[in-house]
Structure 1
Amino acid sequence: MSMEKMLWEYKGFCFPPGVTKETLDALPSFQVRDDDIVVASFPKTGTNWLFEIVAKILRAAGKTDSSADSLISPGPMEIKLLTGTRPGYLMLADMPSPRLVITHLPIHLAPKGISKPQNKVKVLVPMRNPKDTAVSLYHFHNKLIKLKGVTDNVSWEEFARNFTRKVPFGPFDEHILGWWQMRDDPHFLFLKYEDMKKDLLSAVKNIVAFLEVDLDESTIKGIAEASTFTNMKPDLDNSKLAERQAVARKGIIGDWKNIFTPEQSKAFDTWYEEKFAGTGITFDFE
């Protein structure tokens, strides 16, 4: 089945079937709590990785005793997971504070309490180079459609052709640039996947400082060590949630070179230059 046929459009963005118009209409007025911590991301840019790190920090600081699995069980607020009975935002409403909230929504469709946060709300935005994001999303998409019982995979050729214009929660460039407008707002922390791979300890220190929790050096080192891809993959693979088991694959920078043809790479480079030149966003591609 072609990917385009699975997606539907709402206010200029594309959505998978797990997101409904009813949910998108309801979300602008979703009540954000003062101690909510939000991960606002384009899919496959490091969402679960960042979520795990935040959950570990909150546990170490004594702010929660919930497991990462139970904290993440609502899934992204706009999606009804395959394993879920209700969309994430309805499940979040019943959860105790502090809540960890995930959204893949573009900024103008997100709840006002997230797009224009007040008081102590914290929003973390991971970003990843679009070539690796495309490859990761391609593999994830094919795993998810298998969970739904669809047997024919989307081809890489079709996916690569569509990624720059018609992709779940995209267009990618508009999604990233929408959130990027908030880079000077102190409620936001932007993190690049590639920087986290190269120096996870620094990233964890930044997150701890941003969340304003008090942890000693050895605890922070322990969290960074436990949050490497190799150490985290077994937790994700053995999660009770089917969607989460599909999340971790390779977790590397530059995996795009194993699948992109020279023509596809050139087409992406042209698009990337056109959309991101002069925005202040630069990505490492290897």
Structure 2
Amino acid sequence: MDTSSKATSDVTSIDEGYRKTEEKLEEMLGTLNEGYKWVVISPRCFQYKGFWLPEIYIKGSMMIDDHFKPRPSDIIVASNPKCGTTWLKALTFAIVNRNSYFDFQNHPLLTSNPHDFVPFLELFILQEAGSIESLPSPRLLSAHLAFSSFPTSMRCRFVYICRDPKDALVSMWYYVNKLRPEHLPPLSLEVTFDLFSKGLSLFGPFWDHVLGYWKASLESPNKVLFLKYEDMKREPSVYVRKLAEFLDLPFSAEEEDEGIVDKIVKLCSFENLSNLDVNKNNVKEKKRGFPAPLRNSDFFRKGLVGDWFNHLTPEMVKVLDQITEEKFRGTGLNFN
């Protein structure tokens, strides 16, 4: 079979798989608990494998189970929403491709959004049938799925970023309201807090999501790198080096002398990325399954640590801190 025939066959096979997955999903949805209609990524949200997922992500997760062929060289940038995903994607892309894109004055990240280079696996496998297999190694992909949601056959590397749940909540609140259809009223902070604290947020419970990757990083430190947003903001150069070492791409002495680490930090900084024309003015097309189009500017707000102080009441802070302390007790993980 020639290359073109094989490619056509692969696409046909995945399209058929997509159809069968949709049929299986429709049969299964009636058996799942339905949650709050966030109406952001999908109209409906269900509890699947212990987490609250938009319907389209459940479909993507099922496609991963049935059709994704992981490679040991694959790199999955994983996160709960609004925990530094865009930043980590940019850093990972810049590190992995620094030999190809060494001119930081004409770097692809200056004219394209990081999400264009590190697509969400759950959505990519639905929207770009057959093309995943044609991507060269190492494949850079991302995910919001919990670690336990992936097949045990995933022998690739995961880089996970988490964030203080108070900041994650505030950032999610802003993000959800940016993406809500215009015919719906905005969500109040009180409603968002109530859902988040009860574990009913998108891809939540938040704490279970974090703990899944944390425990995996302790059990398999060569497979899962666990990062905190706050640590990375405090010492970005330290964690850029750590990320490069984890990916078996450490910076050479020559690169250190040339200041490559600092150049990557500056290129991928919130201040730089958020002020680029492509991230201020570009409008993405509406994706299949999404109720509204995404703008590149939607991925940027403030990028600050501790902005929760300007939004949450003392009672909200007390509740979230108490949940965090109880959930993480005895695990060695904290956000202090």
| TM-score > 0.5 by shorter chain | yes
Match for residue 162 of structure 1 among 195, 205, 217? 195
Q: What per-residue deviation string (whole Å, max 9, x for no partner) do you get for residues 26-74 of structure 1?
A: 2224211232111111111111101101111122133899945487337
RMSD (CA atoms): 2.6
Q: Any runs of at least 4 consecutive aligned residues in structure 1 with deviations exceeding 6 A, and if so which? A: 63-66
**1:275 aligned partner:** 327
Tell which structure's C-alpha radius of gyration is larger.
Answer: 2
Shift of 1:272: 1.3
1:227-255 deviation line (CA, Å, top 9, x unaligned): 22111212433555335321110000111
The answer to whether the 8 Å contact 1:61/1:213 transfers is no
- Give unmatched runs, 5+ long, in structure 1: none
CA 237–70 in structure 1, closer or farther in 2 if over 3 Å, else same: closer
| Residue 175 of structure 1: aligned partner | 209
Q: Work out the CA distance in 2 between the residues paired with 1:134 and 1:283.
A: 14
Please say which of residues 182-191 and 123-132 is displaced more in the overlay: 182-191
- Of residues 105, 115, 130, the one that matches 1:72 is 115
Residue 77 of structure 2 corresponds to 39
From the superposition, tell whether residues 240 and 36 of structure 1 become closer, same or farther in structure 2 (CA, over 3 Å): farther
Q: Which residue of 1 aligns with 2:240?
A: 204
Q: CA deviation at 1:178?
A: 1.0
Question: What's the secondary structure of 1:183's corresponding residue?
Answer: helix
Say whether the 8 Å CA contact 1:122–1:187 is kept in structure 2. yes
**Once the 2 structures are TM-superposed, how far is the Cα of residue 264 of structure 1 from its aligned partner?**
1.0
Q: 2:97 aligns with which of 55, 59, 80?
A: 59
Deviations for 1:123-155, whole angstroms, at most 9, x for unmatched residues?
111111100011111111111224xx4441111
Tell whether the 8 Å contact from 2:217 to 2:223 is kept in structure 1 after alignment: no
Alignment of 1:114-263 (within 5 A): 114=154, 117=155, 121-146=156-181, 149-164=182-197, 165-184=199-218, 185=220, 186-215=222-251, 216-217=255-256, 218-235=259-276, 236-239=279-282, 241=284, 242-263=294-315
1:23 aligns with 2:60: yes
Shift of 1:11: 2.5
Deviations 1:210-239 (A, max 9, x none): 122253111112111222211121243355
Give the % identical residues.
32
* Number of aligned positions between the proteins: 270
After TM superposition, give the deviation of residue 12 of structure 1 in Å.
Answer: 2.1
TM-score, normalised by the number of residues in structure 1: 0.84
Aligned-partner Cα distance in 1 for 2:268–2:80: 20
1:95 matched residue in structure 2: 135
Amino acid at match of 2:71: R
Unaligned runs of 5+ in 2: 1-34, 39-44, 285-293
Q: Return the alpha-carbon distance in structure 1 between the equivalents of residues 131 and 228 of structure 2.
A: 29
Counterpart of 1:276, as a letter, is F
